[in-house]
Chain A
Amino acid sequence: MKKIISIVLLFAFGFSSCEKDDICDANTPTTPRLVITFYDDIDPTTPAPVLNLKVEGEGEDTPIIFNPGAAGEAQYLANTSSIKLPLKTNEDTVTYKFTYNANSPTPGAIVVDYLTFRYTRENIYVSRACGFKMNFVLDPLEPYVHTSDGTPWMLNITVKNRNIVSENETHLDILF
């Protein structure tokens, strides 16, 4: 009799601790960012790192943090050949300010370009813990608008992949 009751209790409580799927796993692919790869015009086939690139969202106070470990201004400066930019999930366009050589002491060396991305959005169910994610499709006719304060440092922009569903692939190539 006691044995049976203990089995029943074990049965009941053994499964009450099964609710492990309430936290969204960081490895689950959710809302992707736009992935940009840079190429130097000297060698347009191999990705090349940019020099102290600072990227700010229009209307935002802080630039995008590329180096979370660094202190001060250095955390905003990218010196890599590829960057990831979050798109707005509540609007169909987003504008970023790209400052090349941002920490240069000579003002003439700093070049500022602007890119406005145009896209459509789609909400996709992921799981109970993660809720929904958003995927984007860049506009087929005018995926971006490129402007500059002076002579643009971006020489050529190519859309590699219009469908922004994953961060494992490049969506945009920029030649500088």
Chain B
Amino acid sequence: MFLGQAQETPETKKSIPEKKETAKPEIQEIKTDSVVKTDRYGLRVGLDLYKLTRGLYDKDYKGIEVVADWRLTKKYYLAAELGFEDKTTDDDRLNSTATGTYIKGGFDYNFYENWLDMENLITIGLRGGFSSFSQDLNSYKIYNPNPYWGEESSLVVNQKYNGLSAAWAEVVLGLKAEVFQNLFVGFGVQLKLLAMNNKPSGFDNLYIPGFNRTYDGSFGVGFNYTVSYFIPIYKKKTMASEIKKTEKPKK
């Protein structure tokens, strides 16, 4: 739906008259490749609205994530995320809080073919992530499968584990649509693979900022919903079928 809207930005309309001027017989136009496409290059910065708004309704969560990407080539974007999270995980037998910052960096590959001057993206990307955080074990229960003497209530400990860190790799599937001039709405899912996990002795990292909840294996998942603004810095003109032309001399 966003993609449909984005097609009607003023930018794209400008190029339509150009197209009409250059060639009258339509078939010829395709052959001569005279449609000029302008690709804008620049920096896109934004915020993860999911993390930001979650703090309003989830008292166990506070978080913020700044996202940014820089267009490198026609299809490739350098991408990074920087964030902070404070999350209390309340399991049946454990209650712990993880607090820390994280950084993720990598690239996105846009495999969506835009028409004319549209700048929507459907991307697949890779990231490396690193988080530095602390954990607070607030309370826990002793698991006793034979509670002859009665089940024990939670023990409040408030044990703090500092100086923890973790690193992981991510595969990111993303979608960004230009809803207004230079304003993008995006959605992304991430599959994560934990590569390094510096656990505290006598406890575990149940939540890693940026990586999210940990599982028995080393996999993790993530999700974001971003609003970002594109700051155009320079433009590059390309012929619509530039690729075809350049291929010919190679023969």
Contacts and interface: CB of A to CB of B under 8 A. Distances in A.
Interface of A: 1, 4, 7-8, 11-12, 15-16, 18-19, 21-22, 24, 26, 30-31, 33, 57, 60, 64, 84, 86, 88-90, 94, 123-134
A131 B93 contact: yes
Interface string B120-133: 00100000000000
A108 B143 CA distance: 41
A30 B149 contact: no
A100 to B, nearest CB: 20
Interface stretch (B32-40, B41-49, B215-223, B235-243): B215-223
B149 A134 contact: no
A58 to B, nearest CB: 10
B152 A22 contact: no
B36 to A, nearest CB: 25
B94 A128 contact: yes
Q: Which of B143, B191, B219 has the most CB of A within 10 A?
A: B143
Assign chain B's interface to a size class. 20 to 34
B144 A88 contact: no
Nearest to A8: B173
Given A11-B189, A89-B152, A131-B94, A16 B221 contact: yes
A21 B92 contact: no
B93 A15 contact: no
Q: Is the interface of B mostly helix, strand, loop or mixed?
A: loop
B173 A30 contact: no
Given A8-B175, A15-B191, A90-B152, A131 B215 contact: no
Interface of B: 3, 91-94, 112, 122, 140-149, 152, 155, 173, 175, 187, 189, 191, 202-204, 206, 215-216, 219, 221, 223
Contact of A11 (B141, B149, B191): B191
27 contacts: A4-B112, A8-B175, A8-B189, A15-B219, A26-B145, A30-B143, A31-B146, A33-B146, A64-B148, A84-B146, A86-B149, A89-B152, A90-B152, A123-B140, A125-B202, A125-B204, A127-B204, A128-B204, A128-B206, A129-B93, A130-B93, A131-B140, A131-B141, A132-B94, A132-B142, A132-B143, A134-B142
Contacts of B92: 22, 129, 131
A128 B91 contact: yes
A128 B199 CA distance: 13
**Top 9 nearest A-B pairs by Cβ distance?**
A131-B93, A86-B146, A15-B221, A30-B143, A31-B144, A130-B143, A86-B148, A21-B216, A12-B189
A131 B143 contact: yes
A16 B142 CA distance: 28
A124 B216 CA distance: 18
A134 B206 contact: no
